[in-house]
Amino acid sequence: MTRETYGMPRAASGVGAVVSEISKGSDAERSGIVVGDRVLAVDGELLHDILDWQWLTEEPEFVLTLERAGDKVQIEVERVAGRPLGVSFTDVLFDGVRECDNACAFCFVSQLPAGLRRSLYVRDDDFRLSFLNGTFITLTNLEDPDVDRIILQRLSPLYVSLHAIDNAVRRRLICPTVEDRALERVDELLAGGIGLHVQIVLVPGVNDGTVLDETLEWLAARDGVLSVGVVPLGYTGHQSRFSASFEKPEDARRVVEQIRGWQVRLSRDDKDTWLQAADEFYLNAGIDVPDADAYGQFPHYENGVGLVRTFLDELVEGTEDTTVCGHAVAVTGTLFAPTLRRALESVGLGHAVEVLDIENELLGGGVSVTGLLGGSEIARALRQHEGDGPYLVPDVVVNSDGLLLDDTPAESLPALAGGKDVRIVPTGAMGIVDAVCE
């Protein structure tokens, strides 16, 4: 098969992909690839990321250009159709993360305090991570060859931050440093068969109200926009632009009612799950979150849309035919604490599980979610709490290296908490249920 190339900028010599693991008995092992090899090219095409690797190695036979111990080596590979090659790499991006060139007024990264780990300050706007990990991109940093590649390699769906279609509002929110062609890019990608999950970060008095209606009208008219998630502005105490989001019940309720009106309208067009609002709106408004059917496949789950419903349903299911046999203290942020207490009472666990809500002092501002708590503030709250636990800390606060947001190692929490019993448990209802029920 003749393969078309997409004209991406060439990676610098020696970038490539470092092999971290070879599966035993795989086609890769049989071909002679070894751990530590740096794969530079497939049939002469330089590799930029794992997507290139997957795309270029679909053929039954190909030639790899490797760097091994400082020398360039070429290896012929034959693979069995339908069987994994058996190669793992140290990273999915071989030429680095593409960062954002915008200066968004509400950018959360720019609101972080100094002194956190360097990776937290990376403003990712990489379409490859959007496809691979579901991170949101603005489309303002896409170039024509990027669009061609996305369509050619069928990198669908992508996750897109749009926020507004009004040009003046977009300039106010996104503050682009390059020509803003995002709306044009949306139409190009949709025409190329690429599905889009769209995020709207709602900023009070800027892109809510009639501006939101206009944006939703524009998106609803486009086939291929698979879903829209509306989330509230998040702000920390380390900036001076914002002092409120939708914390007041009346403000949050107004958004929920506007979204519900659109959902009723869209249901007539068989788009029952197309538009979804973040859990935070419902919690602040004091309104029950929708049933699970309203979230479809939960495309905005990682963005705080549908987490509460998943937890509540899991809690009910997980406590059927169980017996309470212990006591624990569930650690959470201030936003979810009232809902958690009511949910535990409703399934008969109110007496067995105490809820310890911790205010976010690391970030401050309007940050109240559990996942952004730092280790030092958790440890301090546990030291001051009258009790021995066990304290159930959801693993959403810990990254893949075992570190909390302020670089506190999770394994050090018991010592920092004064020797108390601290346990990192799976995020979700079962982390609690398994600790106190059998």
Mean pLDDT of 40-69: 94
Mean pLDDT of 386-410: 95
Task: Work out the mean pLDDT of the chain and round it to a whole number.
Answer: 94
Q: Which of 334, 112, 108, 364 is nearest to 234 (CA)?
A: 108
CA separation for the pair 431, 427 (Å, rounded): 6
The answer, yes or no, to whether residue 7 has pLDDT greater than 70, is: no
CA separation for the pair 87, 22 (Å, rounded): 5
State the pairing for strand pair 87-89/17-22. antiparallel
User: pLDDT for 158-174, tens place per residue?
Assistant: 999 999 999 999 999 99
CB 19, CB 88: distance < 8 Å: yes
Mean pLDDT of 131-156: 96
- For 162-196, the DSSP string reads ---S-HHHHHHHH--SS---HHHHHHHHHHTT--E
Q: Amino acid letter at 378?
A: I
Tokens read off for 205: 């008095």
CA 365 and chain centroid, separation: 21
CA separation for the pair 68, 111 (Å, rounded): 43
Mean pLDDT of 179-185: 96
Mean pLDDT of 314-318: 97
CA separation for the pair 436, 31 (Å, rounded): 52
